[in-house]
Amino acid sequence: MKAQVLLPKIFNFPFTYNSKNKVQVGDLVEVPFGSKKELGVIWKNSYSEPKNIKIKNIIQMTNYSIDKKLIEFIEWFSVYNMVPIGLVLKMVIGSTDEFIKKKDKSSEFKKTKSKNYILNEEQKLALRFLEKIENKFDVSVLQGTTGSGKTLVYFERIKKIIENNKQALILLPEIFLTNDFKFRFENFFGYEPAIWHSKITPKKKRVIWKGVINKDIKIVIGARSALLLPFKKLGIIIVDEEHDTSYKQDEGVIYNARDMAISRASFEKIPIHLVTSVPSIETFNNIQNKKYRHIKIFKRFENYPLPKTKIVNLNLNKIKDKFIANETIELTKKYLIKGDQILFFINRRGFAPYLICKKCGFKHVCNNCSMYLTFHKLKNRAICHHCSLEKEVKSKCKINNFCEFIMYGPGVEKIFEEVKEIFPNKKIKIFSSDYMKKKKETEDLFKKINENEINILVGTQMISKGFNFPRLNCIVVIDADFSGRGFDLRATEKNIQLYHQLSGRAGRFSAESLIIYQTLSPHDLTLNDFIKNKSEDFLKNELSLRKKNMLPPFIRLIAIIISSKERNLSLMGAKEIKLRLNKINGLEILGPVDSPLLKIKKNFRSRLLIRFRNETFMQKKISNLLNKLKISTKIKLTVDVDPVNFA
């Protein structure tokens, strides 16, 4: 018999093979491909067979197969995100040849001691609300003040689902969150969780992949890619911090894991819970339209209040060449005297974002990208945050000898130095991805924070996400800015969510906590509404603005980025593609324009933005047209469906 086999490669179709055995759709098989052997999946017989080509035989069957519901989801995912179906399959089976040929011990994870948790009345009410719909597709939003115990509620929900011999998937926006989350999981469930993300070892990947497909593993905690694991009896999906833009994968296969999780739940016919403190605009719109069920938890643990807020006007308080105001220093001292921890927050990595020579005006710019280099004191080098190029800071001056650089704008390292000067006798640590690359160092840092061996933290955005620090009772936002950048329509939304998350890190076990917003715009309307806890008013206002300006979620956008080593080629290519796209009815094509980040990794970038009505599914038509285009090999096309970033 003949069989169609889809390979995990950049193809949009399966290949035909002969099979001596009876095969079923979803079976994993080994086949010859060129001079190599490849693992593929038996696909539907809905593709035409090749003519006048010798058809090869399937080499061998394996003991594994993927679910028909997952196959349907893979096909839909490919069409929706305009990605070759073979690349989506690659995300599902990875380098499965290694998985299958290597034998590993069983997927048992070590047992730990569990604690007894008792839900308060509000949490019990939320749990009953979530449990109302079982065994069918349903999207419900669990919204709660930071520190209100949302995690406990959905842990209880999962517990009941796995008792019915089903599997659960918990998605987290960042892999850094998994370490802290792991301890909370072990305390509740009494065993080590299966954690899946890009940084785990190949052996762990094999163990988890086999455990999931064999139904031995009941719960997986993972970053975006965990969404495509081959669960056989998935019973629930949880998307924690659903508002977080880290769910958007913006390299390789471009997709939004939150949106795709909702679609997978739909194909699996199971409930999905979106968990957040301030929902994304899209989720809020679906709540307003009664498309998603919605419940809120207001009370924090032991009824501790949210932190008090204080705006410090930097126009009046800023000291020359310093970034921490005198008023801020006096307020923080009171907390240090009590033995509380302080966090100084700045959302910039490195020491200084700009280096400019005071003699000749030379600026350190990346050779590959149209970006200033950020000075990192840790490495004593200037680094590009897009392509990771590193340069020595020393540079020949056009005027005399070597450049004398002035460093503009503070990064986390600069604030760290300033804090050390102000509080020389305190234990101070940086909480940033550049300083947390080794697992052991990260675990040691968490241990020291939790045991109050660190007095002051200086952190970037990653500290705002779900960490639980018992003694942290004062947070200083070095530069509270709600203006955003011109090319990001979500800037204000992101800032509201970021600062809300951040404020929730303080006072989780204290009645007296404070968050200080240092700002040059103390009368900013968004900031003042935000500190009055009026985030819902902001979301309603933002929705009406989006509707008026024909922006998501009221309209659908697809970005096409055309890149080339030569600037004129990228622009010419974009103009040609626009001409062709104009032939499709119902599309509005904006551009082409130069990208705000004109050059990345030596490629010049032009952008087109396709806008169309929500009710229409245009991806297939656009894909067909793009696939027929004869594009120069000097041009690369990147398609971003539902873009989050417009750089």
* pLDDT the model gives residue 459: 87
Strand, coil or helix: 520 = coil
**Residue range 601-624: mean pLDDT, rounded:** 92
In-domain check, residue 522:
yes
**CATH number for 344:** 3.40.50.300
| The two structure tokens encoding residue 184 | 């909370």
- With b for 16 or more beta-carbon neighbours within 10 A and e for fewer, the 231-250 pattern comes to beebbbbbbbbbbbbbbbbe
Tens-digit pLDDT profile for residues 542-588: 899 899 999 999 999 999 999 999 999 999 999 999 999 999 999 99
| The two structure tokens encoding residue 476 | 């200083």
Given a cut of 90, whether residue 471 has pLDDT beyond it is no
599: domain range? 555-641
**Residue range 331-339: mean pLDDT, rounded:** 93
* pLDDT the model gives residue 179: 66
| The two structure tokens encoding residue 195 | 């954690």
**Residue range 234-243: mean pLDDT, rounded:** 96
**CATH number for 14:** 3.40.1440.60
Residues in the chain: 647
* pLDDT the model gives residue 529: 76
Given a cut of 70, whether residue 484 has pLDDT beyond it is no
Question: pLDDT-based confidence at 94, cuts 50/70/90?
Answer: confident
* Separation between Cα atoms, residue 146 and residue 148, nearest integer Å: 6
* pLDDT the model gives residue 27: 95
Which residues, in sequence order, are bridge partners of residue 15?
5
Question: pLDDT-based confidence at 432, cuts 50/70/90?
Answer: confident
Helix axes 177-189, 439-450, angle to 10 degrees: 60
Q: Are 368 and 387 in contact (CB under 8 A)?
A: yes
Mean pLDDT of the chain: 88
Q: How far is CA 575 from CA 593, 641, 647, in A?
A: 10, 20, 19
Q: Are residues 437 and 327 in the same domain?
A: yes
Instruction: Identify how many contiguous H helices and E strands the chain contains and give both numbers.
Output: 18, 29
Question: pLDDT-based confidence at 141, cuts 50/70/90?
Answer: very high
Question: pLDDT-based confidence at 81, cuts 50/70/90?
Answer: very high
Task: For residue 86, report the phi and psi dihedrals to the nearest 5 degrees.
Answer: -60, -35
Number of domains composing the chain: 4
Q: Are residues 191 and 242 in the same domain?
A: yes
Q: Are residues 247 and 339 in the same domain?
A: no
Strand order in the sheet with 374-376: 374-376, 381-383, 390-392
In-domain check, residue 382:
no
* pLDDT the model gives residue 508: 66
* Separation between Cα atoms, residue 238 and residue 220, nearest integer Å: 10
- Residues of the chain with pLDDT > 70, as a percent, come to 93
- What is the pTM for the complete model shown? 0.90
Question: Which residue spans within 47-108 are E strands per DSSP?
Answer: 60-65
* pLDDT the model gives residue 254: 96
Given a cut of 90, whether residue 167 has pLDDT beyond it is yes
In three-state form (DSSP H/G/I as H, E/B as E, the rest C), the secondary structure along 337-370 is HCCCEEEEECCCCCCECEEEECCCCCECECCCCC
Task: For residue 307, report the phi and psi dihedrals to the nearest 5 degrees.
Answer: -60, 150
Domain boundary among 263, 279, 301: 301
Q: Is the dihedral of CA 205, 206, 207, 210 positive or negative?
A: positive
Q: What's the alpha-carbon Rg for the chain, to the nearest Å?
A: 26
Q: Are residues 516 and 565 in the same domain?
A: no
> DSSP assignment, residue 589?
E
Q: Are residues 571 and 533 in the same domain?
A: no
Q: Are residues 263 and 238 in the same domain?
A: yes
Given a cut of 60, whether residue 486 has pLDDT beyond it is no
Q: Are residues 75 and 136 in the same domain?
A: no
* Separation between Cα atoms, residue 438 and residue 449, nearest integer Å: 17
Tens-digit pLDDT profile for residues 349-387: 888 887 888 888 888 888 899 888 888 887 888 888 888
Given a cut of 70, whether residue 97 has pLDDT beyond it is no
Cis, peptide link before residue 424, omega less than 30° from 0:
no
Q: Are residues 331 and 438 in the same domain?
A: yes
Higher pLDDT, 307 or 70: 70
Q: Are residues 165 and 47 in the same domain?
A: no
* pLDDT the model gives residue 341: 92
Q: Are residues 531 and 614 in the same domain?
A: no
DSSP per residue, 593-618: EEEEEEEETTEEEEEEEEEEETT---
In-domain check, residue 47:
yes
Q: Are residues 9 and 79 in the same domain?
A: yes
Given a cut of 90, whether residue 636 has pLDDT beyond it is yes
Question: pLDDT-based confidence at 100, cuts 50/70/90?
Answer: low
